[in-house]
Amino acid sequence: MPESWEHYRCSMQGQPAAFLVDLGAMDLAPDVRRPVLITVRVALRRPRPDGLNALQESATLQRLEDLLVERMARSEGRYVGRVTHAGSREFCFYAADQQGVARQVQAALDEGGYRGALLPLPDPKWDHYRRFLWPERDQMQAIVDRRMVQSLGRKGDSLQLARPVTHWVAFDGVDGRDAMLLLLSDDWECQVRCGLEAPFEIGLALTKAHAVDLKTVRSTVQELESYLWALGGVYEAWQTMVCLPEVQAAPMHRRR
């Protein structure tokens, strides 16, 4: 998949759901040329007890996905994402209309060896993509964190090496900021940030020495987010140095 595609998981109706979504499609949403949502739903052959697909079925599902994308492209359909949940997988496309789509979808299902349901629905605002497939704030932060760590790794960073990492947070008032300062342990260095955009106009730059492997980063970000949710604040981004073995290079920063 191109770099614009990302995966994430969440809980739906008490069961895990696995999403794959084209984040790059947001640049087009809504595409007035494709106002119809086309969902293709198939039952998994051997779902796991939690409702997700077993590893053994991954290859056949991927082949079906490729066939659907190829066939829908003949009707100028745009593939935007999929979700696996409760023993089924749904492939989501946007198209100009549903004329001719059924034939293309059925041909892909037949060739892929699956039985499925075609669910067309008018969606000119692309609400299904923007409100259902699109990651929520915490899920997007996890994606950003993963991309940051992967970028550091490609630069040869010693991810397990502790170094100063700055985390930016913001509040809609001084009460939240002051409460946050009281909650933080002594190993955090804090600097006030002013002049931010409304509604979160009061900010803090929080710096702490820690490793930047994904597990450590996610644990640190989630700890800060747990405070922020209770105080009405938001997490924004983090920054660190690229640390090579015995070498410290220029700063690297990427915002969400």
pLDDT for residue 247 is more than 60:
no
- Which pLDDT tens digit goes with each residue over 222-241? 999 999 999 999 999 999 99
Give me the mean pLDDT over the 113-130 stretch.
Answer: 96
pLDDT for 2: 73
Give me the mean pLDDT over the 183-208 stretch.
Answer: 89
pLDDT for residue 253 is more than 90:
no
Tell me yes or no: is domain 137-253 CATH 3.20.20.140.
no
102, 95 Cβ separation under 8 angstroms: no
85, 12 Cβ separation under 8 angstroms: yes
How many CB atoms neighbour CB 167 within 10 A?
21
93, 80 Cβ separation under 8 angstroms: yes
Confidence class of residue 201 from pLDDT cuts 50, 70 and 90? Answer: confident
Q: Quote the tokens at residue 57.
A: 């079925």
What's the mean per-residue pLDDT of the chain? 93
Tell me the CB-side half-sphere exposure of residue 118, using CA atoms within 13 A. 18
Burial class of residue 95 (count of CB atoms within 10 Å of its CB; 0-12, 13-18, 19+): buried
Distance CA(232)–CA(234), nearest Å, equals 7
Phi, psi torsion values for 213, nearest 5 degrees = -65, 155
Give me the mean pLDDT over the 148-154 stretch.
Answer: 96
The domain spans of the chain are: 5-133, 137-253
Full-model pTM = 0.86
Distance CA(15)–CA(19), nearest Å, equals 13
Give me the mean pLDDT over the 106-113 stretch.
Answer: 96
pLDDT for residue 153 is more than 90:
yes
Q: What CATH architecture is 5-133?
A: 2-Layer Sandwich (3.30)
pLDDT for residue 172 is more than 60:
yes
Distance CA(248)–CA(54), nearest Å, equals 43
5-133 and 137-253 have identical folds: yes
How many CB atoms neighbour CB 233 within 10 A?
24
